[in-house]
Amino acid sequence: MTIDPDTLLGWEFPVLEQAYDERDAILYALGVGLGTDPTDERQLRYLYEDGLRVFPTMGLVLGHPGPWYRDPRAGVDWVRVVHGEQELTVHAPLLPRDRIRCHTRVTGVVDKGPDRGALVFWQREVSRAGTGEPLCTLASTLVCRADGGFGGPAGPVRPRPTVPDGPAAQTCDLVTSPRAGLIYRLSGDLNPLHADPAVARAAGFDRPILHGLGTLGVAAHAVLRACLDYEPELRGLSARFSAPMFPGETVRTELWPLDDGVAFRCTSLERGAVVIDGGRAELGKVPA
Structural contact between residues 282 and 269, judged by C-beta atoms closer than 8 angstroms: no
Query: Cα dihedral sign for 223, 225, 229, 231?
Result: positive
Active site residue 91: no
Determine which one of 24, 64, 77, 194 is catalytic: 194
Determine which one of 111, 189, 211, 221 is catalytic: 189
Q: Among 56, 65, 89, which residue's Cα sits nearest to residue 17? A: 65
How does DSSP assign 129-186, residue by residue?
TTT--EEEEEEEEEEETT---SS------PPPP-PPSS--SEEEEEEPPTTHHHHHGG
Active site residue 194: yes
CA distance 257 to 262: 4
Query: Cα dihedral sign for 39, 44, 45, 49?
Result: negative
Structural contact between residues 100 and 62, judged by C-beta atoms closer than 8 angstroms: yes
Q: Which residues contact 71 (CB under 8 A, 6 or more apart)?
A: none
Structural contact between residues 150 and 4, judged by C-beta atoms closer than 8 angstroms: yes
Adjacency order of strands within the sheet including 261-268: 16-20, 98-113, 117-128, 134-144, 81-90, 234-241, 273-283, 261-268, 250-258, 170-175
CA distance 281 to 274: 18
Question: What is the set of active-site residues?
Answer: 189, 194
